Chain A
Amino acid sequence: MSISTPDVIDLLAGVKPGSALDGVRAQRPQTREQAQQSYLALFQPSDITDVSQEERHAVANFVAGLHRHSDAFEFYAAALEETGDPRLLETLKAEVGAALPAGPYGHYPAGPLTAEDQPGPTFRVSDAGREALGSRLTAAFEHAHLLVFHPRDARPEALQALFDAGWTATGVVTLSQLVSFVAFQVRVIAGLAVLASATKRAAA
Chain B
Amino acid sequence: MTENTIAVPVHNAPAAFTREEIGWTPWIDPLSESELTDRHYAGLVEEARAKSAYFRLLVRDPEVLEARTKLDKDIFYNTRSGLPRAERELAATAASRFNGCIYCASVHSRFASHHSKRKQDVQRLLDDGIEADLGERWNAIVAASVALTATPTAFDHSHVERLSAAGLDELEIADVIHGAAFFNWANRLMLTLGEPTPAK
Partner of B177, one of A108, A158, A180, A195: A195
For the residues of A in contact with B, the DSSP-based class is helix
Cα separation A156 to B153 with both chains bound (whole Å): 28
- Residue-wise interface mask of A (147-168) relative to B, using a CB-CB cutoff of 8 A (1 in contact, 0 not): 1110110101111100100001
For B4, the chain A residues whose CB sits under 8 A away are 160, 163
B82: interface (CB < 8 Å): yes
Partner of A188, one of B98, B160, B171, B178: B178
B48: interface (CB < 8 Å): no
Stretch at the interface among A77-85, A130-138, A169-177: A169-177
A96: interface (CB < 8 Å): no
Check if B58 sits within 8 Å of A173, measured CB to CB: yes
Cα separation A191 to B155 with both chains bound (whole Å): 7
Check if A69 sits within 8 Å of B177, measured CB to CB: no
Stretch at the interface among B73-81, B113-121, B133-141: B73-81
Check if A20 sits within 8 Å of B153, measured CB to CB: no
- Contacts A24-B170, A41-B67, A192-B174 known; A159 to B28 CB distance under 8 Å? yes
Check if A194 sits within 8 Å of B157, measured CB to CB: yes
Chain B residue at minimum C-beta to C-beta distance from A117: B100
Check if A176 sits within 8 Å of B188, measured CB to CB: yes
Check if B181 sits within 8 Å of A184, measured CB to CB: yes
Check if A201 sits within 8 Å of B68, measured CB to CB: no
- Contacts A38-B67, A106-B100, A111-B16 known; A177 to B192 CB distance under 8 Å? no
B182: interface (CB < 8 Å): yes
Cα separation A177 to B57 with both chains bound (whole Å): 11
Check if A195 sits within 8 Å of B174, measured CB to CB: yes
B187: interface (CB < 8 Å): yes
B61: interface (CB < 8 Å): yes
User: Which residue among B28, B66, B101 has the maximum number of chain A CB atoms within 10 Å of its CB?
Assistant: B28
B123: interface (CB < 8 Å): no
Shortest C-beta distance, B149 to chain A (Å), equals 7
Cα separation A151 to B178 with both chains bound (whole Å): 20
Check if A27 sits within 8 Å of B150, measured CB to CB: no
Cα separation A31 to B81 with both chains bound (whole Å): 14
Check if B180 sits within 8 Å of A187, measured CB to CB: yes
A8: interface (CB < 8 Å): no
Check if B189 sits within 8 Å of A176, measured CB to CB: yes
A119: interface (CB < 8 Å): no
For B184, the chain A residues whose CB sits under 8 A away are 180, 183-184, 187
Q: Can you give 30 A-B contacts (C-beta < 8 A)?
A: A27-B81, A27-B171, A28-B82, A31-B75, A31-B78, A34-B70, A37-B70, A42-B64, A46-B63, A67-B152, A104-B98, A104-B149, A104-B150, A109-B15, A116-B100, A147-B192, A151-B192, A152-B100, A152-B101, A156-B7, A159-B27, A159-B28, A160-B4, A177-B58, A177-B65, A180-B185, A186-B153, A187-B184, A190-B148, A191-B153
Contacts A169-B3, A176-B188, A195-B177 aside, 4 further interface pairs with beta carbons under 8 A come to: A42-B64, A111-B16, A112-B15, A156-B27
